[in-house]
């Protein structure tokens, strides 16, 4: 279905689906594009995402029958689960795991969940590296919470647990954190160890353009697990030299140079990406504050090459988009964003060059791969919350 563009449309879709005149509450949680700091979150380093205007919307009202009736417009599928059996549910390996996983986590925090009708509808493209799953988790959390309050950080953490423990994807905290704490006009520099953040305004002189390659290689989730394990192996090797090292966050570039020979070859290569990538986040934030677009662009490309050669999470189509983009006029830098193996690139482009950038990149990609990529002009947007006024 075409996404209802505004809350009136989603309220109408809700009324049609549940044959209800109830005036539902509508909540949203955004997708995100990570500007730099890839795979550093589960290594307790820094990340630097922006929340997007593209969001997942949930319309909700009490069902009065003790059952959670949820329907996803995107998957054209739904479920009905009595609230008192929610905690017994097992994962079904589909979109419903994000909803049920969040509901279980809320119950474990003693949040009251009443029977409800929920209509879910997302603008965040699935499998694109823009965090459609975190948008679904966090919008579900704020919708089920309603007027009950929970600290924002707790919402991000429970949404992450839903994904890692119930849906079974051992992700870091970045996506859920960005969906909760997003802010208009600013990137969020998150310290994934202390779970604190700073907002960093971005220079107007560059547009942030995400380019969807429309490919998502199956390898994605198994390779993600492998990377988590390889980073852990690197930490274990380093601990033989310095037992105070708890994660790759504790390894500075200087220290890495000293200890690298003691790390087995593949974990060493992975650790090199993480150590320098975390460092690049700090450098990128400083360059953004100094409005130094050349430097921001350079760091983008260094990050991409590191993902391509050291972390080995890129793929042919993404490399083609990056390599083509960086030769186009007005492009400061390009890199893959998100978990890897497809999805989107993110590009820093002079606003006056965006149209030419899109035309030329689109034609080149189509000539090579027979499909036209999709372009998103990304403006940093607000985090999760209620969309319509309380009646
Ligand atoms: C996925 C995960 C995040 C993060 C990124 C890579 O989006 O959900 O936690 O690890 O990959 O930076």
pLDDT in tens, 296-336: 999 999 999 999 999 999 999 999 999 999 999 999 999 99
Instruction: Tell me the H-state helices in the chain.
Output: 7-18, 96-108, 132-145, 152-161, 174-181, 220-239, 253-259, 265-289, 293-305, 316-325, 354-369
Protein residue whose Cα sits closest to atom 10 of ligand 1: 39
Protein residue whose Cα sits closest to atom 9 of ligand 1: 172
The span from the CA of 129 to the CA of 307, in Å, is 14
pLDDT in tens, 339-356: 999 999 999 999 999 999
328 contacts 365 by C-beta, under 8 angstroms = no
The span from the CA of 261 to the CA of 249, in Å, is 18
Which atom of ligand 1 lies at the shortest distance from residue 339's CA?
Answer: 11
pLDDT in tens, 147-201: 999 999 999 999 999 999 999 999 999 999 999 999 999 999 999 999 999 999 9
Q: Residues, the chain, total?
A: 391
323 counts as catalytic: no
CA 340, distance to chain mean position in Å, is 12
Distance 295 CA to ligand 1 centre (A): 24
Ligand 1-lining residues (CB < 6 angstroms): 34, 38-39, 41-42, 131, 171-172, 174-175, 338-339
Distance 357 CA to ligand 1 centre (A): 27
The span from the CA of 282 to the CA of 260, in Å, is 22
pLDDT in tens, 195-234: 999 999 999 999 999 999 999 987 768 999 999 999 999 9
The span from the CA of 38 to the CA of 336, in Å, is 9
Which atom of ligand 1 lies at the shortest distance from residue 47's CA?
Answer: 12
Protein residue whose Cα sits closest to atom 1 of ligand 1: 339
Active site residue: 41, 74, 97, 175, which one?
175
Task: Say whether 351 sits in a helix, a strand or coil.
Answer: helix
Which atom of ligand 1 lies at the shortest distance from residue 38's CA?
Answer: 12
Protein residue whose Cα sits closest to atom 8 of ligand 1: 171
């Amino acid at each position: 279905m075409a996404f209802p563009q505004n809350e009136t449309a989603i309220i109408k879709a809700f009324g049609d689906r549940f044959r209800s005149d109830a005036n539902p509450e509508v909540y949203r949680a955004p997708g995100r594009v990570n500007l730099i700091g890839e795979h550093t979150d589960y290594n307790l380093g820094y990340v630097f995402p922006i929340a997007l205007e593209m969001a997942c919307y949930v319309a909700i009202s009490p069902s009065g029958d003790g059952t959670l009736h949820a329907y996803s417009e995107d998957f054209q599928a739904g479920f009905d689960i009595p609230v008192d059996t929610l905690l017994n549910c097992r994962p079904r390996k589909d979109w419903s795991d994000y909803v049920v996983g969040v509901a279980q986590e809320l119950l474990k925090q003693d949040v009251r969940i009443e029977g409800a009708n929920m209509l879910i509808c997302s603008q965040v493209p699935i499998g694109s590296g823009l965090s459609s799953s975190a948008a679904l988790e966090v919008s579900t959390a704020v919708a089920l919470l309603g007027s009950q309050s929970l600290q924002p950080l707790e919402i991000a953490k429970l949404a992450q647990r839903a994904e890692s423990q119930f849906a079974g994807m051992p992700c870091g905290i970045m996506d859920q954190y960005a969906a909760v704490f997003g802010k208009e006009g600013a990137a969020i520099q998150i310290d994934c160890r202390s779970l604190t953040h700073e907002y960093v305004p971005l220079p107007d002189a560059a547009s942030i353009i995400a380019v969807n390659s429309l490919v998502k290689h199956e390898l994605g989730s198994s390779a993600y697990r492998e990377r988590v394990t390889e980073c852990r192996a690197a930490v274990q090797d380093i601990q033989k030299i310095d037992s105070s090292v708890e994660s790759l966050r504790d390894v500075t570039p200087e220290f890495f140079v000293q200890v690298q020979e003691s790390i087995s070859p593949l974990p060493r290569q992975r650790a090199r990406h993480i150590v320098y990538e975390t460092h690049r986040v700090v450098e990128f934030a400083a360059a953004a504050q100094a409005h130094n677009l050349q430097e921001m662009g350079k760091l983008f490309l260094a990050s991409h090459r590191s993902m391509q050669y050291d972390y080995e999470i890129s793929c042919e189509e993404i490399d083609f988009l990056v390599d083509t983009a960086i030769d186009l006029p007005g492009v400061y830098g390009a890199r893959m964003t998100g978990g890897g193996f497809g999805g989107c690139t993110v590009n820093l482009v002079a606003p006056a060059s965006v149209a030419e950038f899109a035309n030329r990149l689109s034609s080149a990609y189509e000539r090579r791969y027979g499909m036209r990529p999709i372009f998103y002009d990304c403006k940093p947007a607000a985090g999760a919350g209620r969309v319509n006024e309380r009646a």
